[in-house]
Structure 1
Amino acid sequence: MKIVAVIGAGTMGNGIAHTFAQNGFTVKLIDISEAALEKGMTTIFTNLDRMLAKGTISAEDKMKTISNIICYTDIEDGVVGADLVIEAATENLDLKLRIFRKLNEYCSHNTIFATNTSSISITQIAAVVAHPERVIGMHFMNPVPIMPLVEVIRGYNTSDEVTEFIMNLAKKLDKSAVEVHDYPGFVANRILMPMINEAIETLYNKVAGVSEIDNVMKLGMAHPMGPLQLADFIGLDVCLSIMNVMYDGFKNPKYAPCPLLVNMVNAKKLGVKSGEGFYDYSKNKKAEKVAKQFL
């Protein structure tokens, strides 16, 4: 495998592109938005500069990584010749199905299709392509160049050969691959998201404030980041989407998203990406008032 196409230049997409390019792969980074591509490449440059300053890479490594990435705004042009296509678009089922239908049309039957979805059924996505045995989940963790885990999700029809190949590929990226099966939320988010949702419920029920809840989990449970701050970094819209997927999939009220989470997403208070969530990132200060106005 030499050529990898990554669809989506957002936080996860540019991180995946960076990781593959740094490990010697030719990467075709695809996004319909020229602005998104420019922003994604700026992020990659910034992250490489940070690694260079820390001495973890050389100036030559940086230039080789950048030279390994080619940007495209047309999906057909971008995926031509790719051995592996990784979809890292927004966590929206209809969008992902549209992308995979296009991949089925544009790519050869030998191309492996992976999705970076954090919760959506691999089996459902694979159903829209010929040879669904080649479709698999590669759930990278954010920030991709740093976090060592890849959650490898095999759908109902994913072949043993494709699963083994992706597990070995993750090792070539210096990642630890963990194989899991295709159920809502997989493992990472099936455990993480209910915890975040419960933290939001705790705030909603006025048990404690934002910083108090986060400090209990950081100081008492040794979490590197409190659940409310983590939700802001993930994106409250993403958290809500994952909770809805699990609620729809399991039909269990324990997965129902907290009304506060729903209200904040409706008000476009999405966390870091919007400048406000449980904390105020526009002024780099704690802002419980941001959440309180929705209580």
Structure 2
Amino acid sequence: MRRALPRSSRSGYGSAMVRVPNSSTVISTLPGGKLYVCEPLTRDLQAGMRLAGDLRDVVFDDNETDGATRAWALATFGLCRIDVGSLTRIGENIRRGIGKYQGRMVALSDGVLGISAYHGRSMVLVSRCDGTVIKRLRMGAPELVYPLGDGRHRCWSLYHAVATDLDLRSQRCVARHRLPYGKGPVLVGDRVVALCGEREDTPFPNVWNIDATHVIAFDADTLTPVWRAEAPEQSIEVLGRDASGRIVIAARRTVSVLSPVTLEVEGTYDHHAELGGALLIPEDNLVVVRDRVHLADSYSVVRWQ
């Protein structure tokens, strides 16, 4: 299925798609920062107010009485509070100490957010109460963060080939573990599944590409590789595991599912253009696919048995 999006400008940096907890609703922004929510299995779509740039990530207030209605939203040019029900910004845009062009945000506790750039070398601890900066930590900007217990979190930065253990109580990095170069990790049960390969240098200083050749599952606690398989060509990220246990991978123009038994590609969807983003809704065996920003007039819904 293909669904039309409201007309908008063709300028922007590209927006993330985020699933609203305990639902099939997807929240994102049109080029330029206008919020919208859509239901992938229906034609329902609602547009709202603008953020300060394109959406990068959302952390929902699961502990509030209104459930997942209110949230912190990270955009290209700052951090703000939003109401998902009305699709409005309900707080000022916060940039001081955070800056522009941050890429990822994670809830480290009920009181602390972690914000980082896509390939940076630090993570900022930010108060979930008022958005003020608590501390900046020197570490590879994490693509994946999960708790280990005893106040520690493991932060995966495959771009920098390292996993850093953060002790949130002392706000210190207490251990660093070497990893292969890679990208697109996701936590699947007690394993981290990621794309790994060779680092390719570029003409730009401190910037490189990762040629993903394999999909590797690591034990989330010991970091020991559990299984290894060839990655689909031009793979970008692991989206997760579907309802049948198959690993779903997004590539430059395709979405592939790997058999949980043989680890070989079981099926592939070929998109009509390069992917500008993909989001898995695992219980429905469904992926929402969007084109790159200059073609952002629709999104596609991909399903399989």
- TM, length-normalised to structure 2: 0.30
Structure with the higher fraction of residues in helix conformation: 1
Structure with the higher fraction of residues in strand conformation: 2
The structure with higher relative contact order (CA 8 Å, sep 6+) is 1
- TM, length-normalised to structure 1: 0.30
